[in-house]
Chains A and B, each alone.
Chain A
Amino acid sequence: MNRVVISLLVTFIASSVFAQNAADAFYDPAEMAKARAALKSNHGGQLNSLILGERLEYQSNDGNPLSVWEAQGWVGGDIQKLWFKTEGEYEVDEGRFEEAEVQALYSRAISPFWDLQAGIRHDIKPDPSRNYAVIGAQGLAPYWFEFDGQLFMSDEGDLSARLEAEYEFRLTQRLMLQPRLELNGAFSDDEDIGVGSGLSTAAAGLRLRYEITREFAPYIGISWNRTFGKTQDFVRAEGEDSDQVSWVAGVRFWF
């Protein structure tokens, strides 16, 4: 009984497939099926990728210079992507990493301009290292503001958040002035890594870049970094400045 139904179904599907693809009557249907699959993937089904080095820069940091990086990239289709992010700071004189963070996220386009992202973050530095679960949204707000907001839950159970916003003034076809703001906050203390609850750090920057090509642009700028609240206390206890204005110079690139 089942066998009859199945064979009828197979016959029906085969004949309807035949009816649906006129070229099968003239060419080897197996060859046509291969060509159809290739046609589909070549017309909207491609995998794409991006590597974007947003900030690869030197910060003067009041005589204690830092190398700072922030980069991200993705591999995927139009809707679903695997997204990587990394950022950190290297103290040039002392030859050590102050912060080093990597994220691996699943990203899904949920609207024309916004991606919802979830995944993991691992902080190699500071010590002790931490792992976090991440959820965030990245995209383009009206009036061309770029946002990236993320919530982190650490393996110690501490909840924290980060918001980055950028805007670009086009001075000429190749000269861009980019204000940038980053806020970090925590919902509880994590004294081991020097984070206190409340607004912990803020960075405001203004960078002027020249796009020699769209893909490669050196820049100069200024960055103001400051800590707040308990985080500020932790930083001061370590004998570091809680309020710094730095000259910056770096490159932005993508490929």
Chain B
Amino acid sequence: MIRLRQKKIDRRRFLQKTAAFGGALALQATMPAWARSGTHTDLSGLKTLSGTQFDLHVAAARHTIDGEQGRAVLINGQLPAPLLRWREGDELTLNVTNHLKADTSIHWHGILLPFQMDGVPGVTFPGIKPGETFTYEFPLIQAGTYWYHSHSGLQEQLGHYGPIVIEPKSSDPVAYDREYVIVLSDWTFEDPHRVFAKLKKMSDNYNFQQRTVDDFFDDAAEEGFDKALSERLMWGAMRMNPTDIADVTGATYTYLLNGHSPLENWTGLFKPGERVRLRFINAAAMSIFNVRIPGLPMTVVQADGLNVRPVETDEFQIGVAETYDVIVQPEARQAYTLMAESNDRSGFARATLTPELGMVAPVPDLRPRPTLTMKDMAMDHSTMDHSQMTHDGMDHAAMGHDKSSMNKNGTHEHATGPGVVGLAMNPTNRLAERPNGLEDAPHRVLVYTGLKALDRNPDTRNPEREMELHLTSNMERYMWSFDGVKFSEVDGPIVFYKDERLRLTLVNDTMMPHPIHLHGMFFDVVTNEAAKATDPYKPRKHTIVVKPGEKLSVDITADAVGDWAFHCHLLYHMHAGMMRVVSIRDEVAPT
């Protein structure tokens, strides 16, 4: 019951371990750990399955990370699960057999398919019972980088996730000589139900980066006593913690890259001058990563499976369940470190890109942990952008505003109750802003407004209807919900009508970024409020990170009839109730 061991790999321990590792295994030191194990069939360390017929077996397993064994739920015994290589236009048959004692499921994340094949127990099918084989069948009408994972219980935390690459039917607009799939995830030796229970008991128990009395005196010396005190009092008055960046941290997580710890150092080879395509997938349960390759610029060519106009950057944040494809072109004959820091800087996943095995590059220090600001509380009036508060270019009268969330004065009425610490008094559109902790990074950082769809949006109609949904929480009780109502308490689905064009506005009243995922459809991110009616190249995504204190909109064409899950992709937030069902009815929207 009492755990004396901390699973945090700090830099010092990391270096010590690396040194010991190198010494003890000097003869084999030129080979990375995964290459020596001999269990992987290709250089990326990911077993690949391709074709149109697949047999996937979900089973309990023991899995070893850094020499320690833990309980896992794996597909075909792999972590991550096998890379599925599909081809656009193919008809797939996937037989999924459940060898567990509990129900399981596979959800095909980002794949457009008939809803009854989407794999969410209790929404789209009954789930896969122990001993049962369920056959998924669907045609592929898209290409790109996606992934698949369990939608049952907390199995995702135990390794039940894998990558998908769909080759386009026509030629790929992205040219590359070599590609690697980079699956980022988080691993814990604790039972995930125990992790959730601990969050319910003491919600800050994994946070070992809180502000101390020392920090107060440091701040007082730097900014003056009065300012430091008034800042502490402000947070104290609200009973909010500015270091609450991630709920579950490196205190229990080992961050993995293609299933390998930083120590195991997954390694990808390149020939200098090659265009290397890296397909990033954030398959973590709870961890948002900031990704960079010091010395190597990255050109983002795809987001959430759909091509974007190439945009060069030095760092990008990848929310849970998002995918980004980047092209890198290393010219020098040197190794590069791929660094994926968790957004609270409590740990990292790491890989090496190198022209030959055995070469490594320095691993940068973890940068200082960020804190939340007034803006994250949506209380910073200086940044209020009034132009974004008006619905310019929209026919106000024709839009079915969700009146409940707006009162006569145009100010927001919050859901109230024990589950809601309402904060966003003045939420702003933050799509053009860098993510928390990267504001001052001395290099380029990708922002959502930097993404432009490569292909013209299939539907450029103005929305006929607008809905507003608040992301709500009480961190102290570890309660997470939409509009203050947990999924367990919710009465019926959110109803869309077939083929209607609607605008979904998300307001984040919480102090955390939430990767919000809609199943079954892409949504068009309204990145340019002023040009929204005329911009036919909005980036289209299946998951979007809504920053603290942010109000953003996405436009949806409700073309996929059926019931779909809609939720925060932070696993324990969803488990706590931050979820809804969106039901697209085969009916005409009532006027």
Contact = CB atoms under 8 A, between A and B. Distances in A.
Interface of A: 19-23, 26-28, 31-32, 34-46, 48-50, 78-79, 109-113, 140, 142-144, 169-174, 212-216, 253-255
A243 to B, nearest CB: 31
6 contacts: A20-B583, A23-B115, A36-B122, A45-B488, A109-B477, A112-B418
Interface of B: 1-4, 115-116, 121-127, 153, 196-198, 200-202, 205-206, 208-214, 233, 236-239, 417-421, 474, 476-477, 479, 481, 486-489, 492-493, 561-563, 574-577, 579, 583, 585
A48 B418 CA distance: 16
Contacts of A214: 198, 202, 205-206
A140 B153 CA distance: 32
Contacts of B206: 214
Given A170-B211, A213-B4, A143 B123 contact: no
B577 A113 contact: no
A43 B563 contact: no
A146 B507 CA distance: 31
Nearest to B420: A112
Contact of A79 (B200, B233, B418, B575): B418
A44 B476 CA distance: 15
Given A35-B122, A43-B579, A109-B477, A48 B237 contact: no
Nearest to B577: A44
Contacts of A169: 213
B363 to A, nearest CB: 23
A48 B574 contact: no
A43 B239 contact: no
Nearest to A30: B126
A112 B27 CA distance: 59
A48 B201 contact: yes
A20 B493 contact: yes
Given A22-B583, A43-B577, A142-B239, A109 B487 contact: no
Contacts of B481: 44
Contacts, number: 148
B212 A254 contact: no
Given A42-B153, A112-B420, 20 more contacts: A22-B115, A22-B561, A22-B563, A23-B125, A23-B562, A32-B125, A37-B122, A39-B487, A40-B122, A40-B487, A44-B486, A50-B201, A78-B419, A78-B479, A109-B418, A112-B417, A143-B236, A144-B239, A171-B213, A215-B1
A34 B125 CA distance: 11
A194 B454 CA distance: 82
A109 B478 CA distance: 13
Contacts of A170: 210-213
A215 B126 contact: no
Nearest to A31: B126
A79 to B, nearest CB: 6
Contacts of A21: 563
Contacts of B579: 43-44
B23 to A, nearest CB: 31
B210 A48 contact: no
Contacts of B214: 171-172
Contacts of A112: 417-421, 474, 476-477
B126 A113 contact: no
Contact of B197 (A34, A48, A140, A173): A48
> Among the interface residues B126, B486, B492, B561, which one has the most CB atoms of the partner chain A within 10 A?
B126
Given A26-B116, A43-B577, A216-B2, A113 B239 contact: yes
A214 B210 CA distance: 13
A43 B574 contact: yes
A21 B581 CA distance: 10
Contacts of B575: 42-44, 46
Given A20-B493, A142-B237, A144-B239, A27 B126 contact: yes
